[in-house]
Amino acid sequence: MDKIKIIDLYSQHLRIKSELDSAIDQVIQESQFIRGRHVREFKVNLEKYLNVPHVIPCGNGTDALQIALMALDLPKNAKVIVPTFNYVAGAEVCALLGLKPVFVEVDEGTFTVTADEIEKVITPQTKAVIVVHLYGQCADMEPILKLCQGKNLFVIEDTAQALGAEYMFPNGESKKAGTMGHIGTTSFFPTKCLGCMGDGGAIFTSDEGLANYMRQIAFHGQKKKYQYELIGINSRLDTIQAAILDVKLKYLDEYIETRNKNANFYKEAFANHSEIVTPEIQDSSTHVFHQYTVKVKNRSKLIHKLEHADVPYQVYYPSPLHLEKAFSYLGYKEGDFPISEKLCKEIISLPIHTELSEEQLNYIAKVVVE
Ligand SMILES: *Cc1c(COP(=O)(O)O)cnc(C)c1O
């Protein structure tokens, strides 16, 4: 059996190497390395895939969040709600822009935020919510959208881990992750479900005014070259990365299907073992399984076993953001978000990538069950 990897980008690459090589070659031949037709073509194809009128490619997923927040023109010190059980990006850009991150608890089963938890931390200064579709499944958006509409709050969806996931509304309508709130953001970091060979990101919206504004912000505040109407930033998706992503976008649904197959395999393998709590999947959302994260009571024992058996694992995330030093100025303390604090001690992510063999899956499951 080949050595198991937490993610196997090279094997995935080899399957479509000739297509990728020719896409990269084309960019080199045309030598337009910034902007140009490949960025435009990928943008249009992603708009079609997501069924959203405006996609704005940008430098990475963190920039996408920053541009989204800048476009909302919130007053200084306005409060923005972000989950504490999360990657740092959302809270970080709030702080950088002079906004106040307000942390919110997540649901213990789905790891995502809920309308009930959001409602608890809303104050008159709250202006926006960053909903994170963590690990690959949509938060329960219908009640969240209703709540935020009633309270006049902007909704940004961080779709870095859930590109391609689909949410089903009670009326039967379904929408792709990132296209339900005012603005959606994503990352094409190499390990994401749709990853490039470096950094990349994108922003989505149905609002034409916001789309134009965000395009301008990402372009040094220019609508026309050398006319600076506002202070912007420089955030672009490299042309080579766009060409790569345009090839890989065609395979995204296939990748998601394989990840789901692997997740089903684990679910069955762990079904009779109550010490291993497998991820809860809501009826209202599909899951793209960016991560396959289980909960175990005795994690250090499992880690010891996995290391001994040469099975890679990750802990996303070892600590909730409200207890991180960078956010200590906000005054949170241990015990403020007990579910997130507990999750950080119990969660562990197993390999779920598209290149796992049946033999490897069997081996991982056997080691975990033991
Ligand atoms: C990866 C990730 C980001 C940041 O993306 P970058 O491209 O690395 O800047 C933001 N939010 C979440 C939830 C992520 O997983």
Task: State the pLDDT at residue 83.
Answer: 98
Residue 368 vs residues 295, 317, 363: alpha-carbon distances, Å: 12, 20, 9
Ligand 1 binding pocket includes 83 (Cβ within 6 Å) = no
Domain 252-369 CATH assignment equals 3.90.1150.10: yes
Q: Which amino acid is at 345?
A: K
Residue 332 vs residues 84, 132, 318, 319: alpha-carbon distances, Å: 11, 21, 17, 13
Ligand 1 binding pocket includes 61 (Cβ within 6 Å) = yes
The ligand 1 atom nearest the CA atom of 201: 7
Task: State the pLDDT at residue 38.
Answer: 98
Distance from the CA of 361 to the center of ligand 1, in angstroms? 27
Q: Which residues are within 8 A (CB) of 257 and not within 5 positions of it... i.e. 6 or more apart? A: none
Ligand 1 binding pocket includes 62 (Cβ within 6 Å) = yes
Q: Which amino acid is at 11?
A: S
The ligand 1 atom nearest the CA atom of 86: 13
Ligand 1 binding pocket includes 158 (Cβ within 6 Å) = yes
User: b vs e for 140-155, b when ≥16 Cβ sit within 10 Å of the residue's Cβ?
Assistant: bbbebbebbeeeebbb
- Helix 299-308 vs helix 358-369: crossing angle, to nearest 10: 140
Distance from the CA of 271 to the center of ligand 1, in angstroms? 31
Task: State the pLDDT at residue 198.
Answer: 98
Distance from the CA of 62 to the center of ligand 1, in angstroms? 6
Indicate the CATH number of 9-249 among 3.20.20.140, 3.40.50.12780, 3.30.200.20, 3.40.640.10: 3.40.640.10
Task: State the pLDDT at residue 218.
Answer: 98
Cα–Cα distance measured from residue 179 to residue 269, given in angstroms and rounded to the nearest whole number: 34
Residue by residue, pLDDT tens for the chain (370 residues) are 999 999 999 999 999 999 999 999 999 999 999 999 999 999 999 999 999 999 999 999 999 999 999 999 999 999 999 999 999 999 999 999 999 999 999 999 999 999 999 999 999 999 999 999 999 999 999 999 999 999 999 999 999 999 999 999 999 999 999 999 999 999 999 999 999 999 999 999 999 999 999 999 999 999 999 999 999 999 999 999 999 999 999 999 999 999 999 999 999 999 999 999 999 999 999 999 999 999 999 999 999 999 999 999 999 999 999 999 999 999 999 999 999 999 999 999 999 999 999 999 999 999 999 9
Task: State the pLDDT at residue 58.
Answer: 98
Ligand 1 binding pocket includes 286 (Cβ within 6 Å) = no
Task: State the pLDDT at residue 244.
Answer: 98
Structural domain boundaries of the chain?
9-249, 252-369
